[in-house]
Amino acid sequence: MQQDLENPSKYNFGKALVELGYDKEFLFLGKHNAFHLQERSDLVKGILSKNLKLGNWKEVIDIVYGGIGGADQLYDGDRRNLDRDIIKSAKKNEACIRDLYDHQRRLLKEKNGECLLFSLAANLPSTDEDFMDVTGNIGDSPFFKDAVMSERRKRVYHRIVAKKAVDNGNFRRAFYHYSEVDKKDKINELFDKDLSEKDVNSNTLVEIALTDTENSKSKLKKLIVMDKVSPIQEFRLYK
């Protein structure tokens, strides 16, 4: 976390407050208001920098997005870089998305932190259920309605859910989300993966086969030959 400082002493003082475990209380009580504006800004930078180094990325979310002691206004660095540093700190300390508390998820949504929330969900270990649960907090926010970025974000969302669903063995969900972004190559891979499973989802296999117009007959025949469909399904397919 690179800093442009006018008051290194206040920056170091902020770091010391973190080491003492007194940083959030110091800001909450407004004790930093005894300093000049730029001194307060550099103190906040020191607090954030030390917390990130120690892996306290959730505390940084509380301080900045929660605006403790006006920290959101006092921080004059690049917020996008700060968000990236939060993600780096979380990844370095092997965090998972379940570590993010409910109030922090709500906070990010309410304080225009949807991009950080989405990036944390995308970059930290999670199941498809976890990812959908966290990104569900974004809800009807402008994040997925941005005139320029919304379509790209939706495609990224579907690809991430699909990949995590495959990793979690939920091929039906993966099929749905890959279909949303027309990833035919991934859908074909799903067919082979599901086919190799001991407990296959025959309905999903049939749906995948039917969507592949060029190879649907051969795929359906494979399902029947390998006895991967029920007698009723087989009868309907023959019809």
Mean pLDDT (whole number) for 8-13: 93
Which residue type is seen at 1? M
CA distances from residue 197 to 116, 134, 169, 231 in whole angstroms, order as listed: 36, 29, 9, 19
Nearest to 220 by CA among 232, 230, 231, 205: 205
Mean pLDDT (whole number) for 154-182: 90
So what's the pLDDT on residue 185? Answer: 87
- In sequence order, the 6+-apart residues with CB closer than 8 A to the CB of 149 are none
Residue 227 backbone class (left: φ over 0; alpha: ψ -120 to 50; beta: rest) = left
pLDDT over 60 at 234, yes or no: no
So what's the pLDDT on residue 229? Answer: 62
Measured CA to CA, the distance from residue 90 to residue 82 in angstroms comes to 12
pLDDT over 90 at 162, yes or no: yes
Q: Which of 21-25, 127-131, 201-205, 221-225 has the lowest mean pLDDT?
A: 221-225
Determine, yes or no, domain membership for 183.
no
Determine, yes or no, domain membership for 30.
yes
Mean pLDDT (whole number) for 47-60: 97
So what's the pLDDT on residue 208? Answer: 80
So what's the pLDDT on residue 235? Answer: 47
Average pLDDT over the chain reads 87
pLDDT over 80 at 41, yes or no: yes
Determine, yes or no, domain membership for 91.
yes
User: In the 8-state DSSP scheme, what is residue 182?
Assistant: T
Q: How many angstroms separate the most distant Cα atoms in the chain?
A: 83
Determine, yes or no, domain membership for 18.
yes
Buried b (16+ CB within 10 A) or exposed e, 121-146: bbebebbbebbbebbebbeeeebbee
Determine, yes or no, domain membership for 74.
yes
User: What is the span of the domain harbouring residue 55?
Assistant: 1-95
Determine, yes or no, domain membership for 227.
no
Determine, yes or no, domain membership for 80.
yes
Determine, yes or no, domain membership for 62.
yes
Under the banding of pLDDT at 50, 70 and 90, the label for residue 196 is: confident
Based on the structure, what is the number of domains in the chain? 1
How confident is the model over 117-151, as pLDDT tens digits? 999 999 999 999 999 888 876 766 778 888 788 88
Mean pLDDT (whole number) for 83-99: 94
